[in-house]
Every structure is written in structure tokens, then in C-alpha cells.
């Protein structure tokens, strides 16, 4: 955490100290050589640390929706894919650039997960370099900027964003956020419409990758306060030279109005996408959301300084946190806020703290999305504010204590080595799906999502018997969670336990009856399976009724129409059999389906039509 330039709290600056020297002769300074070496070590260290992710598989959590089961992404960057990306709300989001990125991945690497994993790593490394560059150019503190970038590179809470292909959106949005922040310094030195449009363009691209960067206008206002010091302050002597022309607070807010308009548009689109995609969880009361938000802020702080028990999913508690925990968390936030405000001489404390608080707002759960209490990926952007506070504060403290630069470097290196060791261990948890969900269960309690996904991961490895207790445990923890019931029902069905299977299928139908539209495909598959189970019991009427419901939800399945016709014949409903076989033959004509249709027509006395159907059957090869 070696310092360079002038002290951050001092008002006695000369103009040249606020701006780094040009690149010419950059290596002439031993200090700059050290910084360059440190940056290269940070880059190579990050690559070496994360390189193993290139050998990780796709996850069974969201990677299917974003890549492996997504027909549009697997079409590559076709015209249809581009149109779809701009118009879809799939995954309960509108993020066309993210879809483009996954489509390009598929075009380059097909379904080899190593390619997308490597792309994620490259994006993280680019973000590390950009963060260093943006901070250094804005503050003229190369050593402190390097330490912030190194913490960002190596902190274990960022493993989720790098090791998870579906979180490409996190990395992309950060890339454009940092480009916008860097362009803003360029604009602030010499304001103009073209430079402003460059900032707006980077911001818009960031929003099109993931709307978490919606708070950029707030960050730019903080940047106006420090380090750019564009904000006119009453206690600033008029004689102090200005690297960036000073403006009133009102003027600076007005300057951000076009960017705020982009934020507002993104918020509207995102809320619509979340509603249509079923992302918003309406079952959590406002009081519970507020309590969880306060406690989550405190827990994020704890994970920043003691990053253990990290998991891919933290379940939202069924009840609000205890009042004493909420009160203690709120007190912690108030005390830190008061200290940051009181330390006016050290502007970076207030800026870093408000960066953390403000950029976390869209993800803190005031609008509850999904079933998680918080998520490691949400800290990717906000933790930069905490790193700013820590690195600038530690460096200023070291100056007052006259601690030598080599000793500062030694302490900083030790901290980074510890973080790297913890991160290495955390990355190993992502080696495969079974390992990831097993670890999640070890570090979280009553986690029905982890139980369900561990069961699915075990099933995928052919360990179905081991998977079943996890599905059962998931239903015990959260009786309203649909998907483990399906897994249990299918297992019972495959074991020939038809009555038990039907009871589990009926549970799924009961749980989804209030949201038929969202669960239409689930209900379709369950009704089709129920028909098969009833057939196993020899209950033809109920089997027929179940298939009727299945085809009503998905009328394009030729095999189900065929089976419905067979069941209708068995129950004596020849008219319905003719209709069903006709539908099946229209959807997917085969010799067998026309033969079945001919048989039903013949049974109804429609001999001419039966003969015509047989002639059509003859036109197809034997099934």
C-alpha cells in the first residue's frame, strides 16, 4: 500500500500532482517500475489462481438456461439470435449484450465449457487492470490504486462471478461501468457533448449487460466530491488551482439527468422483465425485506474482512431476523456512516462508504427477487468502495506513523497471499456440481435449494439412490417448493411404485394450481407422467383424463395425442380416438399413426375414410 502523489486529504495541491505523467519515459522511475511489476504480478497471479476454472463443467444452476438448453444461444450470433436478444425477457432479465456474449462463446467453442470459463477469467483480469488504471488516473496514487485492484482480483467473494458461466453478465457490466468511470474523468477535465456521449454510451452498454450498474450516476456524483473535487465547497480557498472545473452541487446533479434517465428506463425494463419472468417473490413482507437488507449489509461487511462460509446460495429465512440482530446491524451501519461523515479531512472514507451502500441498493432485496437472502456475486461492484476505504485509510495511517514503504509492501503482500490461499480453496469448491452443492450445504443451514440441486447432481452421475434423501429433505425444509416432489415422483414411478408416484405428482399439481401460466410446462409433463402411472395401475379412465389435461397444455406433442387415442379406444370413446389419431398424424405423420386412425375409423363404420387412411399409411416407411 505504498503511496505516491500528494496526500488525499490535503487542499494544498499543485495542478501537476493531480495528474499522472504521460506514458513516455514511464519506466524511468524506479517507483513506476515497481508499480508495473506489481500490476504484472497481480495479472499473472490472478490467471494462475483462477486457471483451473477452465477445466470446470457447466453448472446445473442457470448455466442450462443461459447456454446448454438455450436454443437461441446455441444458434450462435445469427440474425434471429440478435433479434431475440433485444426482445426477450428470458431469465427474468433484459440483457442483450449478455446473450450476444454467450452466443459468441457457442460460435467459438460449441458446448465446451472451457471456452466460456476462460472468457470469464479474461474479463475479470481486464476489469482488474481497468480498475487500477481508472483509480490511478483519477487520484494519482499508483500504489494505493494497485492495492485496491489486487484486493478486487484476489478476494474470494468474487469467485462466484468468475467461476460461474451464467454470471458473465456481472463481469461484462463491470467492464462497461469502469470504462464509463474512466471516460468521466476525461469528460470532467474538458466537458463537452462528445465526451459526455462517450460516458453515456459505456453506461448504456453496461445496463444492456446487467442492470446492477444502474447506480453509476450516484458514483459519478461521489467522484465529483472525491477524487476529482469538482464539487464547489465553501471551505475551499479560491486560490487552489483546479484540475477539474468546480461546479455547484445542483449543477452537477443536473449534469447527470440524461444518465439518470437511462437508469430510470433500465429500472422500468428490469421490473417488467422480473414480473413477466416470475423473478419477483411476492411472498416476502416489506418489514421482512427491510430487516433482511439491514442484516445483509452487516454480513457483507463481515465477509469483506473474514471471507469464510461463502456459498452459491444463501436461503432467505422463513422468519425475519431477531430484533437484536437487526438492531445491532443497523447500529453498525449508523456508526460507520457517522464516522465517515465526521472524517471530512479524509474524503475517501465517505466516498468509499457511500459507494458500498449505494451500489448495493439494487441487489440488497428491497424488491425481493428469487429466494436468496443475499449473494456473493452482488458484492463484485460494491466491495470496491470498501477496498478504497481500507487502502487509502491504511496508507494515510502508515504515513502518520512513518512506516516505511517496504514494510507497507510487506504487510500488503501478506494480506494478498492469505486472500489468495482462501480464494484457491473457494475455487476448488466449484470443481463440479456435486462438490459445489455439498460445500453449500456444509456452510449454510436448512438450504432446500442446495438439497434439491445436490440431488440433481447426484442423479446426473447415476447415483439416484443417494440423491433421493436430498430431495426428501428439500420437501421437508420447504413444503411449497415444487421441483423435488417431481424428482421423488419420477423415482417412485421408475421403481414401479405407481400409487406413491401419483401422490407426489398430485402434490406438484396442487402446488402449481395458483400459477398455471408460469408452471405450464411443469404441469404438462406431470400430467403426462400421471397418465403413464395410471396405465401401470390399469386405470384407463384416469389415464385418459390425465392425458387430456397434458395435451391441453401442450397440443403439439404427437406422441401424447397417439397415446390419448389408444386410451380413448380402450375406454370405448372411438370418436375421441379418431380425433386424437388425426391430430397426431397432422403434427407428425407416420405409418403407425395412419394405421391407428384407419382402425378407429373402421370401428366407427367409416369404411371409405378408413381405406383412405390406409392408403396414406402406405406412403410412409415402416416405423
Average pLDDT over residues 398-409: 92
Average pLDDT over residues 488-512: 96
Query: Does pLDDT of 16 surpass 70?
Result: no
Q: Per-residue DSSP letters for 152-208?
A: HHH-GGGHHHHH-GGGHHHHHHHHHHHHHHHHHHHHHHS--HHHHHHHHHHHHHHHT
Q: Is the dihedral of CA 285, 287, 289, 292 positive or negative?
A: negative
Q: Is the dihedral of CA 365, 370, 376, 381 positive or negative?
A: negative
Nearest-angstrom CA–CA distance, 197 and 462: 55
Phi then psi dihedrals of residue 620, to 5 deg: -110, 150
Q: What is the CA radius of gyration of the chain?
A: 30
Q: Over the stretch 22-62, which tens digit does the pLDDT of each residue have?
A: 444 445 566 676 677 777 877 888 999 999 999 999 999 99
- Least-confidence region, from 366-375, 407-416, 520-529: 366-375
Residue 232 or residue 327, greater confidence: 327
Give the three cell numbers for residue 339: 464516522
Q: Over the stretch 129-181, which tens digit does the pLDDT of each residue have?
A: 999 999 999 999 989 999 999 999 999 999 999 999 999 999 999 999 999 99
Phi then psi dihedrals of residue 149, to 5 deg: -65, -40
Provide the pLDDT for residue 243.
82
**Confidence class of residue 621 from pLDDT cuts 50, 70 and 90?**
confident
Query: Using CB atoms within 10 A of its CB, is residue 229 exposed (0-12), middle (13-18) or buried (19+)?
Result: buried
Q: Is the dihedral of CA 39, 41, 42, 48 positive or negative?
A: positive
3-class DSSP string for 123-162: HHHHHHHHHHHHHHHHHCCHHHHHHHHHHHHHCHHHHHHH
Q: Which of 97, 178, 101, 173 is nearest to 134 (CA)?
A: 178
CA distances from 422 to 18, 150, 309 (A): 36, 14, 11
Provide the pLDDT for residue 515.
83
3-class DSSP string for 57-74: CCCCCCHHHHHHCCCCHH
Average pLDDT over residues 563-580: 94
Q: Per-residue DSSP letters for 253-289?
A: HHHTHHHHHHHHHHHHHHHHHHHHTT-B-TTS-HHHH
Nearest-angstrom CA–CA distance, 95 and 168: 11
Q: Over the stretch 65-95, which tens digit does the pLDDT of each residue have?
A: 999 999 999 999 989 999 999 999 999 899 9
Average pLDDT over residues 524-539: 96
In the beta sheet, which residues pair with residue 314?
374
Residues 6+ apart with CB under 8 A from 348: 8, 226, 227, 388, 389, 392, 393
State how beta strands 372-374 and 314-315 pair: antiparallel
CA distances from 184 to 219, 357, 363, 618 (A): 11, 21, 24, 73
Q: Which of 178, 210, 265, 206 is nearest to 66 (CA)?
A: 210
Q: Look up the pTM and report it.
A: 0.89
Nearest-angstrom CA–CA distance, 558 and 586: 8
Q: Over the stretch 236-267, which tens digit does the pLDDT of each residue have?
A: 544 445 688 899 999 999 999 999 999 999 99
Give the three cell numbers for residue 189: 477535465
Provide the pLDDT for residue 236.
52
Whole-angstrom distance between the N-terminal and C-terminal Cα of the chain? 74
Q: Per-residue DSSP letters for 230-258?
A: -B--TTS-TTS--SS--B-HHHHHHHTHH
**Confidence class of residue 14 from pLDDT cuts 50, 70 and 90?**
very low
All structural domains of the chain: 283-400 (no CATH), 433-618 (1.25.40.10)
Query: Does pLDDT of 211 surpass 90?
Result: yes
Cis, bond preceding 324 (omega within 30 deg of 0):
no
Nearest-angstrom CA–CA distance, 365 and 346: 31
3-class DSSP string for 83-114: HHHHHCCHHHCCCHHHHHHHHHHHHHHCCCCH
Query: Does pLDDT of 4 surpass 70?
Result: no
Mean pLDDT over each residue of the chain, to the nearest integer:
91
Q: Per-residue DSSP letters for 459-503?
A: HHTT-HHHHHHHHHHHHHH-TT--HHHHHHHHHHHHTT-HHHHHH
Amino acid at each position: 500500500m505504498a503511496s505516491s502523489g500528494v496526500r488525499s486529504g490535503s487542499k494544498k495541491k499543485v495542478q501537476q500532482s493531480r495528474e499522472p505523467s504521460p506514458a513516455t519515459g514511464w519506466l524511468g522511475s524506479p517507483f513506476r517500475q515497481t508499480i508495473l511489476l506489481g500490476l504484472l504480478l497481480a495479472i499473472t497471479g490472478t490467471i494462475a489462481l483462477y486457471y483451473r476454472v477452465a477445466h470446470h463443467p457447466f453448472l446445473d444452476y442457470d448455466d442450462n438456461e443461459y447456454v446448454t438448453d438455450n436454443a437461441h444461444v446455441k444458434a450462435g450470433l445469427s440474425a434471429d439470435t440478435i433479434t431475440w436478444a433485444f426482445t426477450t425477457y428470458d431469465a427474468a432479465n433484459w440483457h442483450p449484450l449478455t446473450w450476444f456474449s454467450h452466443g459468441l462463446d457457442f460460435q467459438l467453442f460449441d458446448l465446451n465449457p472451457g471456452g466460456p470459463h476462460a472468457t470469464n477469467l479474461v474479463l475479470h483480469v481486464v476489469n482488474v487492470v481497468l480498475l487500477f488504471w481508472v483509480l490511478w488516473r483519477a487520484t494519482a496514487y499508483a500504489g494505493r490504486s494497485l492495492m485496491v485492484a489486487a484486493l478486487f482480483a484476489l478476494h474470494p467473494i468474487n469467485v462466484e462471478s468468475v467461476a460461474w458461466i451464467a454470471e458473465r453478465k456481472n463481469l461484462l457490466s463491470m467492464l462497461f461501468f469502469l470504462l464509463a468511470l474512466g471516460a468521466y474523468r476525461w469528460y470532467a477535465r474538458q466537458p463537452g457533448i462528445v465526451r459526455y456521449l462517450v460516458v453515456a454510451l459505456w453506461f448504456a452498454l453496461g445496463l444492456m449487460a446487467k442492470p446492477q450498474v444502474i447506480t453509476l450516476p450516484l458514483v459519478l456524483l461521489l467522484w465529483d466530491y472525491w477524487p476529482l473535487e469538482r464539487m464547489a465547497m465553501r471551505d475551499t480557498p479560491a486560490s487552489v488551482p483546479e484540475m477539474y472545473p468546480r461546479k455547484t452541487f445542483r449543477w452537477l446533479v443536473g449534469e447527470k439527468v440524461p444518465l439518470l434517465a437511462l437508469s430510470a428506463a433500465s429500472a422500468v425494463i428490469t421490473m417488467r422483465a422480473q414480473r413477466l419472468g416470475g423473478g419477483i417473490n411476492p411472498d416476502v413482507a416489506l418489514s421482512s425485506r427491510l430487516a433482511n437488507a439491514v442484516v445483509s449489509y452487516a454480513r457483507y461487511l463481515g465477509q469483506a474482512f473474514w471471507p469464510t462460509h461463502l456459498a452459491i446460495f444463501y436461503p432467505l429465512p422463513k422468519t425475519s431476523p431477531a430484533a437484536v440482530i437487526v438492531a445491532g446491524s443497523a447500529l453498525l451501519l449508523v456508526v460507520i456512516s457517522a464516522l465517515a461523515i465526521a472524517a471530512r479531512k479524509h474524503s475517501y472514507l465517505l466516498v468509499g462508504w457511500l459507494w458500498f451502500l449505494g451500489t448495493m441498493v439494487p441487489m440488497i432485496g428491497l424488491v425481493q427477487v428469487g429466494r436468496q437472502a443475499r449473494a456473493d456475486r452482488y458484492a463484485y461492484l460494491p466491495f470496491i468502495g470498501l477496498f478504497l476505504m481500507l487502502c487509502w485509510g491504511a496508507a494515510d495511517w502508515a504515513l502518520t506513523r512513518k512506516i516505511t514503504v517496504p514494510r507497507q509492501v510487506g504487510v500488503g503482500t501478506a494480506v494478498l497471499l492469505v486472500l489468495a490461499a482462501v480464494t484457491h480453496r473457494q475455487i476448488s469448491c466449484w470443481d463440479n456440481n456435486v462438490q459445489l452443492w455439498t460445500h453449500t450445504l456444509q456452510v449454510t443451514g436448512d438450504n432446500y435449494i442446495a438439497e434439491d440441486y445436490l440431488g440433481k447432481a447426484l442423479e446426473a452421475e447415476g447415483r439416484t439412490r443417494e440423491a433421493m434423501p436430498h430431495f426428501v429433505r428439500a420437501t421437508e425444509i420447504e413444503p411449497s417448493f415444487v421441483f423435488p416432489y417431481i424428482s421423488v415422483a419420477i423415482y417412485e414411478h421408475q421403481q414401479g411404485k405407481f400409487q406413491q408416484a401419483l401422490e407426489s405428482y398430485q402434490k406438484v399439481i396442487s402446488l402449481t394450481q395458483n400459477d398455471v401460466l408460469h408452471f405450464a410446462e411443469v404441469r404438462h409433463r406431470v400430467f403426462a407422467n400421471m397418465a403413464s402411472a395410471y396405465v401401470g395401475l390399469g386405470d384407463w379412465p384416469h389415464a385418459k383424463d390425465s392425458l387430456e389435461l397434458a395435451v391441453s397444455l401442450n397440443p403439439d406433442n404427437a406422441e401424447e395425442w397417439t397415446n390419448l387415442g389408444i386410451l380413448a379406444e380402450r375406454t370405448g370413446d372411438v370418436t375421441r380416438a379418431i380425433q386424437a389419431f388425426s391430430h397426431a398424424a397432422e403434427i407428425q405423420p407416420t405409418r403407425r399413426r395412419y394405421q391407428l386412425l384407419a382402425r378407429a375409423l373402421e370401428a366407427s363404420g367409416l369404411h371409405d375414410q378408413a381405406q383412405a387412411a390406409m392408403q396414406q399409411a402406405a406412403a410412409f416407411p415402416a416405423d
